[in-house]
Amino acid sequence: MHVSITEMERETYKKSPIHGIDGRIKILMTLAITIYVVALPRMETLNFTKLGILEAYLLLLLLFSKIELSHLAARFAIALPFGLGISILQPFLKQPFLHDFTIMYRLPMGIEVTNEGLLYGATIFLKFFVCISAVILLSSTTSMSELVASARRLGLPKEMALLFTMMVRYLFVFWNMLGRIRTAQKTRCFEIWNRKVPRKWTLEQIGYTISSLFIRSYEQGERTYQSMLCRGYCADAHVYVDKKKLHITDFAVLAITFGVIIITNIQVF
């Protein structure tokens, strides 16, 4: 599975009700959901309903956003492995914050599956899954430059805003540059899995690719910096971000999101 940043950016330029929501609102939504989910208690069966409602809400939004399913599947497939791995191991571990364990199964070699471990593993995986869904919703419906501008409007310090503006502007330039280097290497039959050439040589070639990218991006940085100086850039300068009015629909979406979070806390569930 591989998703290139260009594919990711292409999805963000689609038109849909979700794409139309102001970036600030989407950032706040993602932050609220993530912080709420992380703050949920570690071990509670009630969590499952809460997380289920939140996940259903996020999936509904993803459905409305017209993002291609194959793209979504690929995004999840990239994000999941490390978290999934650690969650799967939980039933076999003795969590240090617990004292009593009920053993469900005894496997050979003294491996024990505990009830509590299973509950903790399932909880942590679901929590992680909801967080990933929220981030994927944010990043596949908001373009990177829009994200940076929204973060600036939300009060990101001006130096950080400048750094990120420059970074996302050149991300795609260097991405394509790496693509060209790779194509050039392929035409010369270069292949990192090739075992027939000495390892040292392959490693050197990779090193040179990296050096070339490093120097080219440094030189691009120099050129950009100098041209900025020519146009009057100084230490007090900051990125201009135009004011953008929030619409009633934006506030409505934010209110609905907080509403969903509050609903999950009603004892009925």
Partner 1 sequence: MHIPDTFIPLGQAAIYWIISILFIARAVKWARKDMKENMIPLFGVLAAGIFVLQTINIAASLLIPVPMFTGVSWHIVGAALTAIIFASPWAAVLLMTMVLAIQSLFGDGGITVMGANILNMGIIGGFIGYYTFIGLGKLSVKRPVAMFAGGWLSMLLPAIALSFELWLAGTFPLKQGILLMGTFQGIAGIGEGLITVIVFGAIIKARPDIVNEETHKKESTAKVAAVGIFALLGLAVAAPFLASSNPDGLQQTASLVMSNEINNMIAPITPLFPSYAIPGMGEAGRVAAIVIGFAAILIISIGISRVIKKA
Helix axes 69-79, 115-141, angle to 10 degrees: 130
CA-nearest of 92, 161, 156 to 120 is 92
Measure CA of the first residue to CA of the last residue in the chain; give whole Å: 37
CA 139 centroid distance within chain: 7
135, 123 contact by CB (below 8 A): no
Farthest CA pair distance, the chain = 72
C-beta of 192 vs 266, nearer to partner 1:
192
**Burial label, 108 (beta-carbon count in 10 A; 0-12, 13-18, 19+):** exposed
Q: What count of residues does the chain have?
A: 269
Q: Does 34 bind partner 1 (CB under 8 A)?
A: yes
Beta strands in the chain (DSSP E): 103-107, 111-114
Q: Does 153 bind partner 1 (CB under 8 A)?
A: no
The Cα 31–Cα 37 span in angstroms is: 10
Q: Does 8 bind partner 1 (CB under 8 A)?
A: yes
Interacting residue with partner 1 among 48, 101, 170, 258 (CB under 8 A): 170
Where in 72-131 is the site for partner 1 (CB under 8 A)?
75-76, 78-80, 82-83, 86, 89, 93-97, 124, 127-128, 131
Q: Does 178 bind partner 1 (CB under 8 A)?
A: yes
Where in 213-242 is the site for partner 1 (CB under 8 A)?
213-222, 224-225, 228, 233-235
Interacting residue with partner 1 among 63, 111, 167, 184 (CB under 8 A): 167
Interacting residue with partner 1 among 6, 20, 35, 252 (CB under 8 A): 35
Interacting residue with partner 1 among 65, 114, 139, 264 (CB under 8 A): 139
Q: Does 49 bind partner 1 (CB under 8 A)?
A: no
* Least separation in angstroms between CB 25 and partner 1: 16
Token pair, residue 219, equals 């030189």
* Least separation in angstroms between CB 131 and partner 1: 4
Scanning 32-40, 54-62, 65-73, 253-261 for contacts with partner 1 by CB under 8 A, the matching segment is 32-40
165, 238 contact by CB (below 8 A): no
C-beta of 16 vs 224, nearer to partner 1:
224
